[in-house]
Amino acid sequence: MCGIVGAIRAHHNVVDFLTDGLKRLEYRGYDSSGIAVQTGNKITRVRRVGRVQLMENAAREKGVHGHIGIGHTRWATHGGVTEPNAHPHISGGLIAVVHNGIIENFEEERARLQSLGYTFESQTDTEVIAHSVKHEYERNGHNLFAAVEAACARFHGAYAIGVIADDNHKEMVVARMGCPLLVAFGNEETFIASDVSAVIAFTRNIACLDDGDIALLNANGIEKLLDKNGQAAERKVKVSELSLASLELGPYSHFMQKEIHEQPRAIADTAEVFLDGGFEPENFGTTAREVFAGIDSIKILACGTSYYSALTGKYWLESIAKIPTDVEIASEYRYRDVIANPKQLVITISQSGETLDTMEALKYAQSLGQTHSLSICNVLESALPRESELVLYTRAGAEIGVASTKAFTTQLVVLFGLAVTLGKMRGHVGEEQARAYTEELRQLPGSIQHVMNLEPQIAAWAQKFAEKSNALFLGRGIHYPVALEGALKLKEITYIHAEAYPAGELKHGPLALVDENMPVVVIAPHDKLLDKVKANMQEVSARGGELFVFADLDSNFTESEGVHVIRTPRHVGDLSPILHTIPVQLLSYHAALARGTDGDKPRNLAKSVTVE
């Protein structure tokens, strides 16, 4: 959940990189931030609660300068949001550590280190890393690599760490287990980061570390690397294709606004694989045809917004491909007794490809003998794709806003493409129908652009929502997950309590909440369930509820007292859930603006969930 940076720069001040990198990683955590830089024969640390800018100002005032350093932007797990809990943590002025993840046995380690005479200044699990490394550093003749290796052998849990020592002017040690960490290479300078966005302004040459890796770094790159088995290894260096422009706001006020408006292009780019290559299994991997031919069902594992995309995909997979599909929250699946089916395809969905619960759920499924796996992910070479048999990347580009927008809609495009592909293979989609689906995909970006033109009307609605404390979202069938996603977005960035229900469930309890103070958002396109939805809306109106209806040109709604209607373009068939996602995103964004909350960095949340 946190962001890590570090660098060894032979000829440049490291502070410039640390502060720039932390700003780019601030979406991963923004409770507090800090840097530790080797200055002379000591480590100088600057920490501040709040945004990175506050810490940067303090570092500038102190004139911090050095050629080796580490930095961190925090999303609190162990311990409150205070400066003593902020990273980096230092042990005895000798060892400085930054850490992303959770050390599960930190209480046991804390007690052990206290018995050895170490005093703890924070409530964090990370401080045990600093003290443990210092203890081993002194036992191993100030060999930093050996010290980190010995310390890591004691830790249980997930971590990515960067370590420097006050008397080592040229080296840094990093280690990874369960949390992302990469090494990047410049001209006589080496960088580390938990995300490529932190280094892209300095270099595009990166290598991703694998779970269990421990590496010794100097200004010329990786001096030594051992894998999880303690064997010498190398990691492939690749050139990142991430655009620096994608990390900048440009003419937009917030990244969330920018990323909502980037959806026509992101969807077109993601759909290109199906538009150019057809709905063929090879889009998902060279062995996909053989894998798909041998499966009898699908299990999708995901969290948060990706879980809602999976729920939508279930409708397509069962209606188009006629294949039984089950969807589970990854964090629940990994802790229950599962009846394994080796003929089942396990699909994991994650924007970052590093979501810990989803990663562990995949490993659990594989341990049960479910060998067929497919990853739908937005980040190249991330953990989930590397652990999966098949992969298809969404092409959403960098997504900085914490509340997912374009990653969600591009996931839906891939799930739709998968459903049609399997439908063709299983004999349920003929060539004529496949061409019709192709044309629907081709026209989708244009239809979404038309929805963007409704933004002023949606912004006017948002003013009404900004005054409320609660909201209900309703949908039926394949549009119920859109209602779920709309409620989540409103909760995430406005802090308005919002819940979503299948509209038919109103009379089974939620209707008790409806009064004149409860706005009710209805997803009501012209599909086979429209008449049912209209009946549910009557139930709301009869109780004095105020309805906000996202319909389309074919839905035949009339505005009246307490019934507000915005019409999207004509019904776009099976792809309607993607189209109707855009209005609920815009509603949440503009409600956040009206309430004065930060849509990019909502309280208590961070982008990549790499802790349990």
Q: List strands edge to edge, sheet with 205-208.
A: 42-49, 32-39, 68-74, 3-9, 189-193, 182-185, 205-208, 238-239
Measured distance CA(141)–CA(588) in Å, rounded:
57
Catalytic residue among 314, 468, 489, 607: 607
Q: Burial, 433: exposed, middle or buried (Cβ in 10 Å; 0-12, 13-18, 19+)?
A: middle
- Give 138's contacts (C-beta < 8 A, 6+ positions apart): 94
The DSSP secondary-structure symbol of 122 reads: S
Measured distance CA(458)–CA(461) in Å, rounded:
5
Q: Which helix (H) or strand (E) holds 44?
A: strand 42-49
> Known catalytic residue: 303?
no
Catalytic residue among 2, 152, 303, 377: 2
Contact between residue 533 and residue 522 where contact means Cβ atoms under 8 Å apart: yes
- SS3 call for 88: coil
DSSP-derived pairing of the beta strands 297-302 and 68-74: unpaired
Max distance between CA atoms of the chain, in angstroms, equals: 80
- DSSP secondary structure string, 275-342? HHH-S-GGGG-TTHHHHHHT-SEEEEEE-HHHHHHHHHHHHHHHHTS---EEEEEHHHHTTS-----T
Q: 329 - beta bridge partners?
A: 302
Q: List strands edge to edge, sheet with 157-165.
A: 89-91, 95-103, 157-165, 172-177, 214-218, 221-226
Contact between residue 387 and residue 363 where contact means Cβ atoms under 8 Å apart: yes
Where are the strands (E) in 166-264, listed by range?
172-177, 182-185, 189-193, 205-208, 214-218, 221-226, 238-239
- Measuring CA to CA, which residue among 518, 567, 513, 511 is closest to residue 539? 511
Contact between residue 465 and residue 491 where contact means Cβ atoms under 8 Å apart: no
> Known catalytic residue: 532?
no
Side chain identity, residue 150: A
DSSP-derived pairing of the beta strands 563-568 and 546-552: parallel
Active site residues: 2, 607
